[in-house]
A = this chain, B = another copy of it.
């Protein structure tokens, strides 16, 4: 087993994560055999295994992997491989989407990770089994940050694991919300799990390590190069039941995570925002696209839970305004109540004319409204009751 782990760590340096050809070879022949074959072929067989920028041809990849594993252990982290019980099997769904989405290598090479570096106490599979991705722009607005925190808090409070990146903005707000609820949250990084990138998140990552998990496909020491964020996004989408896009500009990389979720058959949930905000332009574009299935508009945690939860167990209450006493009245009854005035009494004829209902109905119903407390008799006429029927003054709708 440790030979397999070492081989997978070594192979993770051969190509950027997601490389489909390498994943297939590993899947067919096993990591140990593939590594041995590449070493036997030398630099010609696996150029980037040896091209680290140093005069690296002389370094034995097996020894380098063993050193990386030892470093991992010293950092309080571990390497989780598909052969482990805690491997999240849903990541294998990534095989379905390789090549979807266009000619970009990132789209072709969307294979599952060869292994994952993990910091934190919880089992990776258990944490991710009931998890939701909350993603969005680094340059979040105050509105977006507030919404991300609320969603992170609400998901954690309902027993869901939050998954996001480690960036400023929406990522950080989602994590902080989950942490504030005392729940679990996972930051999937585009660099080594020992590395605080951005530096200002050192404390946040420490908290996540204590309450949740730091996860990466890259070995300790790896840099967060720009293209790695797009490679990483497929893991966020595949690990979770659904992805919530909180705020995204027109070109935000978070939209790619949402696309991955759609391709993987995960729920794609989008929070709307002010049309006057550049940080919601990407959200609204996603909601306007004729995807099959289309992205779903969500306004808060209740609706997110309804989408990701089992039907019936996490059903959101329908949104409606406060009950009014008149709600229980039929239409004719309501019209009559609204036609009545607070002071000047109306005869049944007058009330019928104002309400636009037949006189016979008014004659029959007005006494009933008196009994139900919506109207009061006043001489030969009727006035609106102070409560609970309310006023009959003109009012728009």
Contact = CB atoms under 8 A, between A and B. Distances in A.
A98 to B, nearest CB: 16
A218 B66 CA distance: 87
B275 A271 contact: yes
Contact of A284 (B233, B297, B335): B297
Interface in A118-148: 138, 143, 146-147
Query: Number of copies of this chain in the oligomer?
Result: 2
Contacts of A192: none
A237 B338 CA distance: 25
A394 to B, nearest CB: 4
A320 interface: yes
Interface residues of A, number: 78
A396 B297 contact: no
Given A167-B396, A287-B287, A331-B105, A53 B350 contact: yes
Interface stretch (A202-210, A247-255, A364-372): A247-255
B275 A225 contact: no
A197 interface: yes
A356 B299 contact: no
Interface in A302-350: 303, 319-321, 331-332, 334-335, 338-339, 346-347, 349-350
Interface stretch (A3-11, A44-52, A69-77): A44-52
A397 B166 CA distance: 11
A275 B275 contact: no
B275 A147 contact: yes
A276 B143 contact: yes
B284 A229 contact: no
A200 interface: no
A274 interface: yes
- Residue in A168, A224, A272 with the greatest tally of chain B CB atoms within 10 Å: A272
Nearest to A107: B331
B225 A355 contact: yes
A356 B397 contact: no
A288 interface: yes
A387 interface: no
A242 interface: no
Contact of A275 (B300, B334, B392): B300
Given A143-B276, A250-B319, A300-B275, A359 B51 contact: yes
Interface in A260-288: 271-276, 280-281, 284-285, 287-288
A353 interface: yes
B147 A276 contact: yes
B300 A272 contact: no
Contact of A272 (B230, B252, B273): B273
The 9 A-B pairs with the shortest beta carbon distances in the complex, nearest first, are A253-B397, A272-B272, A53-B350, A229-B397, A16-B356, A251-B321, A275-B299, A167-B396, A250-B321
20 contacts: A47-B360, A48-B359, A51-B353, A51-B359, A106-B331, A190-B396, A191-B394, A197-B394, A225-B335, A225-B338, A225-B354, A226-B335, A251-B321, A252-B397, A272-B275, A272-B297, A273-B275, A284-B319, A287-B297, A288-B296
